[in-house]
Amino acid sequence: MDYNLACTEVLNHVEVGCRILHTPVWTQIGDTDHLPEVGFKLHVSAGLDNAGDVLLRVAEQLVGQVPFKFARDAHTVATLNMGTLGIAQAGKVITVYPQDVAEFFSVVDTLRAALGRQSGPRPLSDCAVPDSDCLYYRYGSLVTKGTDVEDPGLEAGRERFPGCALPEGVENPFGEEGGPSKGESALFAGRYLVTRSLSMRGKGGVFEALDFSAKPGSCLPQRVVLKEARAFAERDSCGVDAVDRLNRQCRFLDVLGDLPAVPAVIDTFVFDSSTFVVLKYIDGAGTLVRAGTGSDSPIFGADLECALRYFLNAMVRPCHARGVLLNDISSGNLFMDDRNGRVWMCDLEEATMRSMDVDPYVPLATPGYLSPAWPRPSRERDLFALMRVALFAAHPAWHTSILSNEEGAFWKPAFSSLDCMHRFCKRICKEEGLDAREVFYL
């Protein structure tokens, strides 16, 4: 059932006199004033494809019995699951506030039976309820006070306990069965040690790691990149989740692996319900669109044009010749090796085949890189996105953070680069037979 319709149906069946609280993020049903400051709470997780059904089943059991809150609309569900409101909020579509441990177990039994095999991503702060793929719990604040985001900080007497960490004297209601299955110091797949996080969102993280597997002629661990896809994470209305997208990326990396702009796949493995792909680490790589200083300074003029021309010839055109559409060319997905000017595309999750009869998947794309003239995956849309990268990379608005008192030293090369990129885009339009007016429509 559509989630927005489910929200309306739930509210229509709330009895007169039952407290309802609306915030920009949540709708809360029931009074929480009688709750203790801290205790065990339940999170019911879901994707866009099953959130409506999950909400109806939960509300049927809890309205008038136990206070709970839920994401107020489908857009909020997607925003929460992406981690936009904080990575700790991903997966927390519904939060239930039991009065005590006895009620906690009663609610768990009730919802486990009502929800059956419904599934949703595990919130990073939570432990899993045994025999359920959508119920999770943790110990923390039970007093919401109408806040949009749970536990915004530490207050006197209200401490947040992450994951299964518990204060002295409080036992895990499910014992070791409900505890986390991975230790912080363990090697992933027996060979990879994470050294730092490169990015995090609801679907998973990207990490720099050391590979300790034996390599002939080398006694030092090799740097690699781990890309994670969490089970059930960021699942869309068609049921496609992060694991599906990562598997999709692996297939295209295999098909395009001989191209110089595609990072090599070293390994894939599953660890603690997350799927990982291990990619070659690119020394000297930095994002193509720069806003930093020093070694991360912006790329201007001829250097930027050479980098984009390399990517066009080494990646975009060969992919199109093989019937592959990239669909998500954007500034955040392109990296340049400062040592040789080579540009790499790090994300192929949204790639698809030109023949939609062969591949009916409808990919997502980064806002700002789409043209109204080409709303569907196409060769023209890829080229438009690449030209948009060029214009964004050269435009001074991207580099305001490096302005200093010597503004002239910055603005002159910036505007010169913008003019260079306009000429570059017009040449591409001529070479590819595109209408330049569609590229410069803004």
Domain boundaries of the chain, sorted by first residue: 3-150, 192-280, 285-439
Quick check: 19 pLDDT over 70? Answer: yes
The pLDDT assigned to 359 comes to: 54
Inter-CA distances, 278 with 206, 207, 250, 270, Å: 10, 10, 10, 11
Given this model, what pLDDT does residue 143 score? 67
In the predicted model, is pLDDT for residue 288 greater than 60? no
Average pLDDT, the chain: 82
Longest dimension (CA), the chain: 75
- Give the pLDDT confidence score for residue 315 in this predicted structure: 95
pLDDT digits (tens, 9 = 90+) for 206-238: 999 999 986 666 668 899 999 999 999 999 999
pLDDT at 136: 96
pLDDT for the residue numbered 144: 57
Residue 427: CB atoms within 10 A of its CB come to 13
CATH number of 285-439: 1.10.510.10
Domain 192-280 top-level CATH class: alpha beta
Coil/strand/helix, residue 274 = strand
Q: Give this prediction's pTM.
A: 0.82
Q: Architecture of domain 3-150 in CATH?
A: 2-Layer Sandwich (3.30)
- Segment 134-148 shows an average pLDDT of 76
Q: Which residues contact 179 (CB under 8 A, 6 or more apart)?
A: 127, 164, 172
Whether the CB-CB separation of 203 and 166 falls below 8 Å is answered with no
Quick one: which of 304, 332, 231 has its CA closest to 273?
231
Q: What is the pLDDT of residue 441?
A: 55
Which ranges in 263-406 belong to alpha helices (H)?
301-311, 317-321, 379-394
